[in-house]
Amino acid sequence: MSATTSPPSYDDVIASTCEVWSMMLGVDLDVLSNAPLIEGESITAVVTVTGGWNGAVLVKAGVETALQTGAIMFASDPGETSDEDVRDAMGEIANMIGGSLKDRVGPGHVISIPAVTEGLAYKVYVGHAKKVHEVGFASPDGVVILSVFDVGKPT
Amino acid sequence: MKVLIVDDSRAMRMIVRRTLRQAGYENITVEEAANGIEGIDMVAKFGPDLILSDWNMPEMTGLEFLKSLRASGNSVRFGMVTSEGSMEMRGQAEEAGALFLLTKPFGPDDFKTALSAAGF
């Protein structure tokens, strides 16, 4: 079991997120100085990481941005991309970013299967976790927000 | 060449298909399964030359799928395509009989290198 208990760094978050968008979607992201509020309906995909470090990685985007992202992943027209496909794509993105961050943190960590939520007004609670990073990224299709929560040691 | 892609994400199955083509594997027949249990059924029906499987899946993980195949005497060539890229998991996959472990995100060159080394 790993002795690492620290969450991934800000630089790790940027590197993992940009790498996934670039390699899997062919899209270069710009890092924003502040994570903006996403207004209107949005979709959030979550994976949890357990091991020496315990936390969660959340990827949030507006529905239109998520739809465009899903369409790129499926190589389909946005009009032909189903809600299920969009949820699947966002979940897989969270899975890849979470997996990458997990490996950057150190050995001895396990990642969950992604969970996805969507709607107009919702909150995502991660145990008694503390948000340690919230980074906004600009893509040609809109804003994406990557958040990392630190759960600390499970009681 | 017959390839079975096993992943619970339809998006990822599509990306693996696309990346195989981009890596130069044009003349292949591909079937898909969404987890290890479906994968076992497809192996019996399809008889793949190569299996590319995710690790984290509901019902049956990729590692359990691989172990189940080997326990039944099936020696089909098997590669993991997963976000689980740690050394310990590479070791587990190799010990169970996987020829390679490709980490997501990946590109065509990663596929070309891994599949060439596996004899394709």
- What's the complex ipTM? 0.86
Nearest to A113 among B18, B56, B82 (CB): B56
Q: How many Å apart are CA A18 and CA A31, to the nearest integer?
A: 9
B58-71 CB burial, b ≥16 within 10 A, e <16: eebbbbbbbbbbee
Is it the case that residue A154 has pLDDT exceeding 70? no
Cβ(A63)–Cβ(A43) below 8 Å: yes
Q: What is the CA radius of gyration of chain B?
A: 13
Global pTM reads 0.91
Nearest to A74 among B14, B56, B106 (CB): B14
**SS3 assignment, position B2:** strand
Nearest to B83 among A75, A96, A108 (CB): A96
Band the pLDDT of A3: cuts 50, 70, 90: low
Angle subtended at Cα A109 by Cα B53 and Cα A73, rounded to the nearest 5 degrees: 45
A34-44 pLDDT, tens per residue?
988 998 999 99
What is the DSSP pairing of strand A130-139 with strand A142-150?
Answer: antiparallel
Which DSSP category does A24 fall into? I
B15-35 pLDDT, tens per residue?
999 999 999 999 999 999 999
Question: Which residue does chain B place closest to A110, by CA atoms?
Answer: B84
> Cβ of A104 under 8 Å from any chain B Cβ?
no
Which DSSP category does B76 fall into? -
Best to test chain B binding among A43, A53, A92 (most B CBs inside 10 Å): A92
Which DSSP category does B98 fall into? -
